[in-house]
Structure 1
Amino acid sequence: MKVRSSLRALKRKPGSVVVRRRGRMRVVNRANPRWNSRQG
């Protein structure tokens, strides 16, 4: 999982969902787990 300053490009990928967990923004992608990332 990568830590990124901006999740804008990743949330446009097919199958991605933006989730807030424990005060952090995460992009969870079940179609391609390579695109999982968090911000903060």
Structure 2
Amino acid sequence: MKIRHSLKSVKARHKDCRIVRRKGRVYVINKTNPRFKARQG
């Protein structure tokens, strides 16, 4: 599954963002600042 550029730009907004795969979906999660969240798929 390709990770779209929009998710990579969300990841670049904060140093603690992580890209996680769960059940075929790709999430961007951030434990320290929960405002930075995204989902694809």
What are the ranges of 5 or more consecutive residues in structure 2 without an aligned counterpart? none
**Higher Cα Rg, which structure:** 2
Where does residue 6 of structure 2 map in the other structure? 6
TM-score, normalised relative to structure 1: 0.73
Q: State, as a whole percentage, how many aligned pairs show the same letter.
A: 44
Moved over 6 A (4+): none
User: 5 Å matches for 1:1-40?
Assistant: 6-12=6-12, 13-40=14-41
Name the structure with the higher strand share: 1
Q: CA RMSD in A?
A: 1.5
Q: Which has the higher contact order (CA 8 A, sep 6+)?
A: 1
